[in-house]
Amino acid sequence: MGKAYDRVLAARSADKISIQDLVAGITDDFMELHGDRAYSDDPAVYAGIGTIAGQPVTITSIQKGNDTDENIERHFGSAEPSGYRKALRLMKQAEKFNRPIINLINTPGAYPGMDAEYKGQGYMIAQSIMQGLKLKVPYISVIIGEGGSGGALALAVGDTVWALEDSIYSVLSPEGYATILWKDSSKAAEAAEQMQLTPKELLDNEIIDKIIPEVKDAKSMQNFKEALIEKINELNKLPKEELLAQRHERYRKFN
Amino acid sequence: MKNNKSEETKDLQALMDKVPDHLFIKCPVCEENFYNKKLGEYKLCPNCGYGFRLGAQERINMTVDEFTPIDSEVSAPKRFLSDEKYAGKLEKSKKATDLNESVQTGFAKIGDTEFALGVMDSRFIMGSLGTATGEKLARLFEQATEKNLPVVVFSCSGGARMQEGIHSLMQMAKVSQAVSDHAEKGLLYISVLTDPTTGGVTASYAMEGDINISEPHTLIGFAGRRVIEKTIQQRPPKDFQRAETLLKNGFLDAIVKRDEMKSVLAKLLAWN
Ligand SMILES: [Zn+2]
C-alpha cells in the first residue's frame, strides 16, 4: 500500500480528534448557533461564536459523527444545502460584527441525496464560494481530516488554508477517481498516489499554505491555537483593501 | 442474453449503415423517433422541445449576430501533459471541436448590443472544467469588467476535470471571484445552463448569474445520478435534475426554448 493511501486512511480514522473537541480546545468559551433561517438546521455543520485569547471569532465547520447514530444524522460529515446556508449566514454575521472567521473542515463531500439536489446543493455551494471570497474579515480555513471536493471548497476560500498532518484535500475521493478513470473503485490506493492529495503535495502546489502537526494532545492543541492567534493578529492588522487584494491574488494565481 | 443483445446491436448497426445520414433520430428525453430533417435549424425535438446538444460554434452562430473570439490559443498547461493518456484525450478533443479548451470566449453582438460571451462545448472532455477553461472564463469576466460590458455564459459540463485534480477545483474559486468582481461593478451576468450542467460548474459560475435560465429538459445537478442512487439506494424519478424541476423548486428564473433564446437575451441585455 502506498504512502498517499496511508494518509487517506489516517484522515478518515475514527481516532481523529472530533471537531467539537477541537473547538473546545482552541476556544476559551464557545456557543453553538443553529439554523439556516429558511427551513432547517443541518447537524453536519457545527457553528457558532467563541473567543480565542479573548478575541471573539465565528467558527463554522463540517463534522463527522463520533458514533453510528451521529454519523447517520450527519450523513458521515456530508452537509446539505441547509448546512451551507447556515454556515454562510454565520460568516456574513461575522463580517457584520467584524469578527474573524475560522472554518474547520472534515467532509468526504457535499451530501449526494435527492432532497439535497431539490434544495439547491449546487446553488448553495456556489454562493458560499462567491460570497465567501468577498467577506471583509480575516478568514482562515483548516482541513482537519477529509477535504472532499466542492463541499469542502465551499468553506475554504479564505485568506489562508491549512491542513492537519493527517488530512487530504482532493477534487473527489480516491475511490471515485478510480471508478471514473479506471472503472474500478478497488484501485483507490493507486488513485491516491496520483492525486497529489497529501498535505505535502498540497503545500508544494500552493493549494494550502501551512501544515499543522496532528492535534492529538494538549501540547499539539496549544500549538494549533497559537498558530491561529498569530495568524488572526497578522490578518487583523491589514487594511481591508489589502486583505481582499491578497486573498484575490491567492485564488487568481491558479492558472 | 448478452449474446442476443450484441447480435441485435450488430443488426441495427448493419441497418443503419445502409440508411444514409442516419435518417432517424431518437430523442433522449421523450424517446420519440423522428425523421432528422424535422430537427430544424435549432435542433429541437419536434415532440417535446428538447434541444439536442450543440458545439460551441454552432451555438454561437444561432444565438448572436457577431462574434470575435479571444484567448483561442489558451489550452491546458504543459505541466499536465506528461500524463500521456490525458494528452491524447486533449488532442482528440481539439480535433473534434476545433477548440483548444472546453469553452470558447469572446465579444459578441446581438443587434447593436455588445457583451462578453462564453460558450462551453460538451464534446471537449465532457465540457469539464480544466485550468485553462477557468483561465479563459476568468479573463472573460475581467475584460468585461474593464470594458463595462455584461456577460452571458452558456454552460454545459460534466464537472471537474479529473485529470487536473485539485487544480480543477481551484478554478471554481478563481472564476467565482471574477464573477463577483464583475457584479460589484453593477454589471449584468446571465447564466444559461444547457444540457448537461453538473458538478463543479453547477456549484460555481453556472449558479452565480443575476439571471439563471435554461432550456427545456436540461439536466442540471451537482451530484451524479449514479452516486445518488448508490447513496440512497433508490431510483430518482424521471424529472429529477431536469430544468422544469429546478424551476419549480426556485433555482431558475426561466426556461427558454432555443429558438427564442436570442430575442430573450436581447431583451434582458437591453433592460439591465
Ligand atoms: Zn423529445
DSSP state string for A18-50:
PHHHHHHHH-SEEEE----SSS---TTEEEEEE
What pLDDT is attached to residue B17?
A: 55
HSE-CB for A122 with a 13 A CA cutoff: 31
Contact A45, A78 (CB under 8 A): no
A3 against B106, higher pLDDT: B106
Q: What is the mean pLDDT of residues A25-44?
A: 97
CB contact under 8 A, B173 and A129: yes
Q: Are residues B33 and B105 in the same domain?
A: no
Is the pLDDT reported for residue A66 higher than 80? yes
Q: Which of A23-32, B16-25, B68-77, B152-161 has the lowest mean pLDDT?
A: B16-25
Q: Which of residues 60-119 of B touch A (CB under 8 A)?
A: 77
Asked if B155 and B255 sit in the same domain, the reply is: yes
What pLDDT score was predicted for residue A175?
92
The reported pLDDT for the residue numbered A58 is 98
Out of B162, B221, B234, name the one closest to residue A177 (CB). B162
Residues 162-181 of B with CB under 8 A from A: 162-163, 165-174, 176-177, 179-181
| pLDDT (0 to 100) of residue B158 | 96
How many Å lie between the centroid of ligand 1 and the Cα of residue A119? Answer: 27
- Write down the number of H helices and E strands in chain A: 12, 8
Does A16-171+195-246 carry CATH code 3.90.226.10?
A: yes
When divided into structural domains, chain B yields a total of 2
Q: What is the pLDDT of residues B95-140, one digit of tens each?
A: 999 999 999 999 999 999 999 999 999 999 999 999 999 999 999 9
d(CA A185, CA A212): 30
What is the distance in A from the centroid of ligand 1 to the CA of A116?
Answer: 27
Percent of chain A, pLDDT > 90?
A: 95
pLDDT in tens, B199-214: 999 999 999 999 999 9
Closest CA to A178 of A188, A168, A169: A188
Contact B174 A118 (CB under 8 A): no
Give the closest of A112, A122, A177 to B203, CB-based.
A122
**What's the pLDDT score for residue B1?**
38
Distance from CA of B204 to the nearest CA of A (A): 4
CA distance B24 to A229: 68
pLDDT score recorded for residue B13:
58
Please name the residues between 188 and 217 in chain B that touch chain A, using a CB distance below 8 Å: 199-200, 202-208
Using CA atoms, how far apart are residues A251 and B165, in angstroms rounded to an integer? Answer: 16
Per the structure, the complete domain to which residue B40 belongs is given by 1-52
Mean pLDDT of A192-210: 96
- Residue A209, pLDDT above cutoff 50: yes
Is residue B22 predicted with pLDDT exceeding 80?
no
User: Both B43 and B95 in a single domain?
Assistant: no
| pLDDT tens-digit map of B246-270 | 999 999 999 999 999 999 999 999 9
pTM for the predicted model, two decimal places: 0.94
- Asked if B77's CB is within 8 angstroms of A129's CB, the reply is no
Looking at residue B247, which CATH number applies to its domain?
3.90.226.10
ipTM topping 0.90: yes
The SS3 of residue B17 is helix
Q: Which residues in chain B are closer than 8 Å to A123, comparing Cβ atoms?
A: 202, 207, 251
Statement: residue A151 has pLDDT above 80: yes
Q: Which segments of chain B are extended strands (E)?
A: 24-26, 33-35, 66-70, 103-110, 113-120, 151-157, 189-197, 211-214, 254-255
* Predicted pLDDT of residue A62: 98
With an 8 Å Cβ cutoff, is B135 touching chain A? yes
Closest-approach residue (CA) in chain A for B197: A122
First to last CA, chain B: 59
Task: Extract the C-alpha cell encoding B248.
Answer: 419549480
pLDDT surpassing 80 at residue B15: no
- One domain for residues B188 and B68: yes
Residues 6+ apart with CB under 8 A from B110: B63, B64, B65, B262, B265, B266, B269
Claim to verify: residue B122 and residue B105 sit in the same structural domain: yes
pLDDT category of residue B5 using cuts at 50, 70 and 90: very low
Please report the pLDDT score of residue A180 as a whole number. Answer: 85
Q: Chain A: give the shortest CA distance to residue B131, in Å.
A: 6
Whole-number Å distance between alpha carbons of A207 and A101 = 19
pLDDT value at residue B21: 56
Mean pLDDT of all residues in chain A? 96
Q: Residue A84 to residues A41, A46, A131: CA-CA distances in angstroms? A: 10, 11, 12
DSSP line for B161-214 = -GGGHHHHHHHHHHHHHHHHHHHHTT--EEEEEEEEE-HHHHTTGGG--SEEEE
Which residue in A39, A107, A115, A117 has the most chain B C-beta atoms within 10 A of its own C-beta, making it the best mutation to test that interface?
Answer: A117
pLDDT surpasses 80 at B19: no
B62 and B190 together in one domain: yes
Q: Distance (Å) from the C-alpha of residue A228 to the closest C-alpha of chain B?
A: 23
Q: For residue A124, what is the nearest residue in chain B, using CA coordinates?
A: B203
Three-state DSSP class for residue A110: coil
pLDDT of residue B3 exceeding 50, the answer is: no
Shared-domain flag, residues B110 and B165: yes
Nearest beta carbon to residue A114 from set B160, B162, B240? B240
**Rounded (10°) angle between helices A188-195 and A174-182:** 100
* Stretch B51-55: mean pLDDT: 94
